[in-house]
């Protein structure tokens, strides 16, 4: 599985972590972050930190990521995903 396949395999309403994507593609979490930063056409909003917080978006862009995920049915409290395990997808 390559990077793009791993990220595109995350279904709507689910999230995965930088670490889980890294494991699926035999890479490191920071490398996944860099690949997401440079990629077009992958649902990067569905990749979050392993503690359930957003991560990966600078400035106020995290608000945009939360809005997109909320539209997909994911709820937040204090910038962290509620019911984290329920929404977790392992590629």
Which residue reads 């056409």 in tokens? 41
pLDDT for res 49? 93
Please provide the DSSP assignment of 43-54 as one string: -GGGEE-TTSB-
Q: What is the mean pLDDT of residues 6-31?
A: 96
40-68 tens-digit pLDDT: 889 999 999 999 998 766 667 888 889 99
Q: What is the pTM of this model?
A: 0.90
Q: Is 57 helix (H, G, I), strand (E, B) or coil?
A: coil
CATH 3.30.360.10 fits 3-87, yes or no: no
Positions annotated as catalytic residues are 44
pLDDT for res 59? 65
């Amino acid at each position: 599985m390559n990077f793009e396949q791993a990220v595109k395999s995350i279904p709507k309403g689910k999230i995965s972590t930088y670490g889980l994507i890294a494991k699926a593609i035999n890479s490191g979490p920071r490398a996944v972050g860099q690949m997401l930063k440079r990629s077009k056409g992958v649902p990067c909003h569905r990749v979050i930190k392993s503690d359930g917080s957003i991560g990966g978006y600078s400035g106020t862009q995290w608000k945009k990521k939360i809005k997109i995920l909320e539209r997909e049915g994911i709820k937040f409290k204090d910038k962290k995903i509620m019911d984290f395990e329920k929404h977790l997808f392992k590629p």
